[in-house]
Amino acid sequence: MDLPPPDPADEFRSWLELPLDVTASILLRLGAIDILKSAQMVCSTWYNLCKDPSMWRAIDMRNSGNNREFRKLRKMCHDAVDRSCGQLFDINVEYFVNDDLLRHIADSSSQLKRLRLVYCYGISAEGLSQAAAKLPLLEELSISNCPSSHEALKAVGRSCPLLKSLKFDRRMVWYDEYAEYEDYADYAFAIAENMSELRHLQPFTNMLTNDTLQAILDGCPHLESLDLRRCSNLTLAGDLGRRCAQQIKHLRLPCASTYYDREFTVWWQEFLRNSDFNLW
């Protein structure tokens, strides 16, 4: 059976004819950077839609880490937070955030529930502590290779009583004023003594020993998920191994692969960027 030829009008149907909720769903898949740099400039309809606070309840600003773009990215992030009009509940930022921008995020986003900070060397431990004090509803926090201290983790635990998930990684902090005199055990005990409601913990460091892991298991009785990859100082044998198997529903052992995790891909790229090795 022969099909009728397509109607030429169907081939050139305008995107502007899409329902606004469908257009918004498409734009949200672009990410904050693409929206602010290009999508909002396509037409007045898209521009007005991109100004709607509901478009900025979640902000994802993952980027390549090009420091020549940091000033622009800070301004874009500042504008995106302002557009949320206090409705922001989830923000994911990499490299460019400093104390001033983190303060603006915290001041403008009392409803924030999820915060992810990756390679943000411009953040200080004091800045993180001050921001946490303004985020009482925070439930998920990811801090990967940002300057910090065990006192900052204590402040997070005390200021964010609803915190359920913590990812904490300091492997690649090239300059950290606290690194010279703080013991990794201090970080583990800060978690154990101040984050009793944790359900998910991903330390991704060698801060855990058998003793500090025991303290975390005692201090975080609701822990369900524990990612111990790269925690090579652990020996999960005997009573400790049995306790982990019994208490933790989702346990990833120190020897488990990290091959497909973006955090570790970024870690390797950052290592090459900061190392003196010439692999070529």
The model's pLDDT over 221-260, given as tens digits with 9 standing for 90+, comes to 999 999 998 888 888 888 999 999 999 999 998 888 877 6
Cβ(229)–Cβ(254) below 8 Å: yes
The rounded mean pLDDT for the chain is 85
How does residue 280 score in pLDDT terms, banded at 50, 70 and 90? very low
pTM, two decimals, is 0.83
Query: What per-residue confidence (pLDDT) applies to 22?
Result: 76
Distances (CA, A) of 29 to 3, 22, 74, 197, 240: 35, 11, 21, 32, 44
For the segment 190-206, what is each residue's pLDDT rounded down to a tens digit? 999 999 999 999 987 66
For the segment 144-154, what is each residue's pLDDT rounded down to a tens digit? 888 888 999 99
Residue 59 has pLDDT above 80, yes or no: yes
Say which amino acid occupies 154: K
Query: What per-residue confidence (pLDDT) applies to 181?
Result: 45
For the segment 8-39, what is each residue's pLDDT rounded down to a tens digit? 555 555 666 667 677 777 777 888 999 999 88
When computed from its CA atoms, the radius of gyration of the chain, rounded to whole angstroms, is 22
How does residue 278 score in pLDDT terms, banded at 50, 70 and 90? very low
For the segment 79-103, what is each residue's pLDDT rounded down to a tens digit? 999 999 999 999 999 999 999 999 9
> In residues, how long is the chain?
280
Question: Above pLDDT 90, what percent of the chain?
Answer: 56
Query: What per-residue confidence (pLDDT) applies to 256?
Result: 80
